[in-house]
Amino acid sequence: MRKFKLQVQTTVDGYMAGPNGEMDWMTFPWTDDISAHIGALTAPVDCIVLGRRLAEGFIPAWASGPEGETQESIDWMNNTPKVVVSNTLTESPWENAVVANGDLAETVNRLKAEPGGDMIAYGGGTFVSNLIAEGLLDELHLFVNPTAIGAGMPVFPKGAYQRLQLVGARGFDCGITGLHFEPKRS
């Protein structure tokens, strides 16, 4: 069965965005050590899974070749097939992306049962919160930025109790700390 990973940037106090979706707290530019770490994390990935709201900005942003990103990263993001989980879209308006409708757990479990490499989810607050609340992730990769913002969109939804096991932690030269967790399954 394929692994389903989450990669998300977070603040020290656990937010993936500010109260109004602000992301100006993120640490850039990244250093070579974190770029290499992300490269190793995504090497076995052959499917990106996104919620609709994130996909609406994410896919066009990468298609435009964002400034400050390497051509290798841009090519990987654009060429890796995407699944957009949505109950409002019936077909994909984007190249190299399909839409999956229906129950989130059934959709993710169906994707995990398909042949292929690992899958990775990127933020989108509601989508990530739902993945965590449903216990659908096999690995959580939190990239903790050295900033606290006090309020915003939390990575972990209120009331979603989940025990995690720390697999690894690593500080990077840019100041970000990478935390790798796996859910403790009973």
Q: Is the pLDDT of residue 69 over 90?
A: no
- Global pTM reads 0.94
Q: What is the pLDDT of residue 181?
A: 98
DSSP SS3 for 38: helix
pLDDT digits (tens, 9 = 90+) for 99-155: 999 999 999 999 999 999 999 999 788 899 899 989 999 999 999 999 999 999 999
In percent, the amount of the chain with pLDDT more than 90 equals 86
pLDDT in tens, 158-181: 877 789 999 999 999 999 999 999
Cis upstream peptide for 29 (omega within 30°) = yes
pLDDT at 40: 97
CA torsion sign for 145, 147, 148, 151 is negative
Write down all domains in the chain, each with its CATH number in brackets: 4-183 (3.40.430.10)
Q: Classify 157 as helix, strand or coil.
A: coil
Given a contact cutoff of 8 angstroms between Cβ atoms, the answer to whether 135 and 183 are in contact is yes
Question: Residue 38 pLDDT more than 90?
Answer: yes
Alpha-carbon distance of 74 to 161, in angstroms, equals 36
